[in-house]
Amino acid sequence: MNAVVTVDRANWQVPQFNTVFSNGKQRRFSLVIPVINEGNRIRNLLTRMTALNTAAIVDIIIIDGGSTDGSLDRPFLDAHAVNTLLVKTGPGKLSAQLRCAYAFILDQGYDGVVSIDGNDKDDPEAIGRFVEALEAGIDFVQASRYLAGGVAENTPKLRDAAIRLVHAPMLSLFSGFHWTDTTQGFRAYSRRILLDARVAPFRDVFATYELLAYLSYRVPKLGYRCIELPTVRRYPKGEVPTKISAFRGNFSVLAVLFRTCFGHYNPVV
């Protein structure tokens, strides 16, 4: 891999956000949880993390997209060892939230970041294994419900087929790395790849769901070390907790996939 050239911090495009509170950097790695109106789902996830003592491994950072459901009240977050609460006030959806959080963790000096969705579909038990992989020099860790040892429970049939037959195969073909599970946000990145000018994640083109697919394509393409780890992903029966709509949202995800694989989001370096 060629020597990494980093982008000047002044040139990052990061949506406006507020730091509601922060207890400062205490761990080497951070855990970023993007949320918006997740209600009891985010509370359940944080409760599970408390039982696992996750805060002893990573600093827990929530990036809120503008929740109005009261699920993120300060006493509850303090009781569950949340280190930082950020609130995005600028435009954009998931990718914009992640840009806010990733800029924050880089500014704070973290060596890497694990991210997990705030809708309580993923088992946080795996967070420690993600951190161990980062400590061992892996640059991109992706959760996979489809690897041996993983669990895919109640995954909607259309989504399951789209991941297995279209999304993962295309990203595997064009990135040069064999992915099995490419649409979920349970993953980890090293500081190196977030700062690499050839990756350049801090751009306004990443506003909705583009950043996840783009990083799955771009990072292995540049020769970084990537792995998948088996994880548990459970959808509740009779409910699909996602912000992606059934038709328009899925069409948008596929459009992003094709643009990604044909280099549409590659930076000009």
Asked whether the beta carbons of 104 and 33 are under 8 A apart, the reply is no
Please say if the pLDDT value at position 52 is more than 70: yes
Structural domain count, the chain? 1
What pTM value is reported for the model?
0.94
Domain for residue 115, yes or no?
yes
Averaged over 204-214, what is the pLDDT?
97
Averaged over 45-55, what is the pLDDT?
98
Domain for residue 18, yes or no?
yes
The pLDDT of residue 14: 98
Q: What is the CATH number of the domain that holds 116?
A: 3.90.550.10
Domain for residue 8, yes or no?
no
pLDDT band at 6 (very low <50, low <70, confident <90, very high): confident
Beta-carbon contacts of 31 under 8 Å, excluding residues fewer than 6 positions away, are 54, 58, 59, 60, 61, 113, 114, 115, 116, 127
DSSP character string of 173-236: HHHSS--S--S---EEEEHHHHHBTTT---STT-SSSHHHHHHHHHHHHTT--EEEEE-EEEPP
Tokens of 263: 């280099």
Pairing of strands 226-230, 140-144: parallel
Beta-carbon contacts of 73 under 8 Å, excluding residues fewer than 6 positions away, are none
Domain for residue 232, yes or no?
yes
Radius of gyration of the chain (CA): 17
The pLDDT of residue 2: 57
- In tens, the pLDDT along 157-175 reads 999 999 999 999 999 999 9
pLDDT band at 4 (very low <50, low <70, confident <90, very high): confident
What is the span of the domain harbouring residue 194? 13-261
The pLDDT of residue 252: 86
Q: What is the mean pLDDT of the chain?
A: 94
Domain for residue 177, yes or no?
yes
- In tens, the pLDDT along 210-257 reads 999 999 999 999 999 999 999 999 999 865 555 555 556 677 899 999
* Alpha carbons 179 and 184: distance in angstroms, whole number: 12
Which has more pLDDT, 243 or 80? Answer: 80
CB atoms within 10 A of CB 58: 25
